[in-house]
């Protein structure tokens, strides 16, 4: 479904001569196709979501690098690409919602310290992986478990 939506939007952008959108969607389609080749078959929705998250992470890393180098023009271009790709991800949970989920998971698992970090991250990502950013989950868990 997500893959078909990306294809449809790509064709619409192409017909409308939206060059930047065409370029970004072409890159996304290529990343999905490369993942399918590596897997030797069609990707399910979860795998397509993973590809999109990887693309977003690459954009975020590039934005940070460009800003550190003082290249605001290149950072702005990456930010626009990030916005386009983000449209295809499921709605992300807010920080407050995520914090509540992490707190509940910590109490359910009786997690008490640094040694339980992986267990809590695994449980949260298994349950809510498509709707959360792994980095944000990790930061909240570290804040709640280690800095208590």
10 and 70 part of one domain: yes
Average pLDDT over the chain, rounded to whole?
89
Structurally, how many domains does the chain consist of? 2
What is the reported pTM? 0.73
* Residue where one domain finishes, among candidates 63, 86, 109: 86
Q: Which residues contact 20 (CB under 8 A, 6 or more apart)?
A: 80, 81, 84
Is the pLDDT at 90 greater than 90? The verdict is no
Q: Which of 82-86, 95-99, 126-130 has the highest mean pLDDT?
A: 82-86
118 and 78 part of one domain: no
Q: Are 87 and 55 in contact (CB under 8 A)?
A: no
Per-residue pLDDT, 115: 83
- Over range 131-148, report the average pLDDT: 79
Find the helix or strand (DSSP H, E) in which 90 lies: none
Domain coverage including residue 128: 95-145
Tokens representing 101? 């989920």
Residue 78: pLDDT band (50, 70, 90) is: very high
CATH number at residue 125: 1.10.10.410
Per-residue pLDDT, 148: 54
What are the tens digits of pLDDT across the range 121-139?
Answer: 888 888 887 777 777 888 8
54 and 99 part of one domain: no
10 and 81 part of one domain: yes
C-alpha span between 148 and 142 (Å, rounded)? 9
């Amino acid at each position: 479904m997500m893959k078909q939506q990306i294809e449809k939007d790509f064709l619409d952008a192409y017909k409308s001569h939206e060059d930047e959108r065409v370029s970004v969607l072409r890159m996304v389609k290529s990343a999905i196709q490369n993942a399918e080749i590596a897997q030797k078959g069609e990707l399910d929705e979860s795998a397509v979501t993973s590809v999109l998250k990887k693309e977003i992470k690459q954009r975020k890393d590039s934005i940070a690098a460009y800003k550190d180098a003082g290249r605001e023009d290149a950072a702005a271009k990456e930010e626009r690409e990030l916005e386009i790709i983000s449209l295809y991800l499921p709605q992300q949970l807010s920080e407050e919602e995520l914090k509540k989920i992490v707190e509940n998971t910590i109490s359910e698992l009786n997690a008490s310290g640094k040694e339980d970090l992986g267990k809590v991250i695994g449980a949260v990502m298994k349950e809510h992986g498509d709707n959360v950013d792994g980095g944000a989950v990790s930061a909240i868990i570290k804040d709640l478990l280690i800095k208590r």
